[in-house]
Amino acid sequence: MKVSEARTLETLANLIGARLKGDPHCVINGIAPLERATKGDLSFLSNRNYKKFLANTQASAVIISPEDLEACTTHALICDNPRLSLAKVAKLYEPQQTVVQGIHPTAIVGQGCRISTTAAIGPYVVLGDGVEVGEAVIIGSGCSIGNQCQIGNRTALRSRVTLYDNVRLGEDCLIHSGAVIGSDGFGFAHHEGTWFKVPHIGGVQVGSQVEIGSNTTIDRGFLEDTIIGEGVIIDNLVQIGHNVSIGASTAIAGCVGIAGSTTIGKHCLIGGGSSIAGHIQITDQVHITATSAVNHSLLVKGVYSSGFPAKPAAIWRKNAARFQFLDDIARRLRRLEQKVQAGDAQLAEDE
């Protein structure tokens, strides 16, 4: 990627707080991966899987950790967390969104709303009654905001975000397009073959500095609120059920499904495609690897996995054919163990 403004390595080092090795006057006019970088590009090594490209990279400089510096053959910006430093560099070149303060003429504003004069309300936005919009808030085109919603200072909603009634967003949040927050939970009572819908009269509380990905859905609570803690990051296409509580700084990757009334602790990592059953508890600092199925509480911090990794189809078909015999094999093995134990006991008596 070519950057909008060329900068010297010395300037970049000062801006991101890195130590410089090499020519401070080297000019950087692009950012690229190690294997595709050319002269003038700044590259990075944040994942050891790509270290094999370091020796032959054509990049003019590399963001790198002290541990990998010896293998670097070009100029370097040295830091303890290369991924964080890369993010800081990319932030310098992030395109700035044009924001026009005020309410667009096509927007519809309900009764009793309180909107900061520094907020930007885009085209075709609909605000329900009693909505509170904080300072420097950005609400993109086509958003729908329900009654009694609160949007904290400097929070941004991209286009076509939907907030149902009684949703409260903290400060400095980012909600991506298509997200739906506060829809009814999946709650029904079954009686004589018929499903009766259970009204959900709770809301959703979202802490500050939360990011919610595109087309993610967060259901409102039944009697109490669904709660998303401060600093939580949620990827695209995540489903969070009613009355779920997610602790601060937890990260949830794409396509995760969390059933209702589950409590997830702080600083957890949930891999993509995982499914989490309802009415369970996951303690702090739990890492659930991708595509895992969590059907019971995890009360001890650590890494948890389930599911089967991909195998060549021929091997998988053989294994799948044998699954139906596992119970029979286990029973036969148990009988053999009992016979062996009985034989050992007999030998001990004979001695």
**Per-residue pLDDT tens listing for the chain (351 residues):** 777 788 999 999 999 999 999 999 999 999 999 999 999 999 999 988 999 999 999 999 999 999 999 999 999 999 999 999 999 998 888 877 778 899 999 999 999 999 999 999 999 999 999 999 999 999 999 999 999 999 999 999 999 999 999 999 999 999 999 999 999 999 999 999 999 999 999 999 999 999 999 999 999 999 999 999 999 999 999 999 999 999 999 999 999 999 999 999 999 999 999 999 999 999 999 999 999 999 999 999 999 999 878 889 999 898 888 888 889 999 999 999 988 887 766 666 666
Strand pairing report for 162-163 and 188-191: unpaired
Do 217 and 180 form a contact (C-beta atoms < 8 A)? yes
Residue with tokens 């541990």: 67
Considering 25, 75, 242, 267, which one is annotated as catalytic? Answer: 242
Global confidence as pTM: 0.88
How many other CB atoms are found less than 10 A from the CB of residue 202? 19
The neighbouring-strand residues paired with 45 are none
Sheet holding 226-228, edge to edge: 114-115, 132-133, 150-151, 167-169, 204-206, 226-228, 245-246, 263-264, 281-282
Q: Is 242 a catalytic residue?
A: yes
**Pairwise CA distance, residues 131 & 110, whole Å:** 8
Do 68 and 49 form a contact (C-beta atoms < 8 A)? no
Do 94 and 131 form a contact (C-beta atoms < 8 A)? no
The neighbouring-strand residues paired with 8 are 27
Secondary structure (3-state) at 257:
strand
CATH number of 102-304: 2.160.10.10
pLDDT value of position 186: 94
Domain spanning 2-92, CATH architecture: 3-Layer(aba) Sandwich (3.40)
DSSP string covering 160-209, please? T-EE-TTEEE-TT-EE-TT-EEEEPPS-EEEETTEEEEPP----EEE-TT
Listed by start position, the domains of the chain span 2-92, 102-304, 313-344
pLDDT value of position 167: 98
- Whether 2-92 and 102-304 share one fold: the answer is no
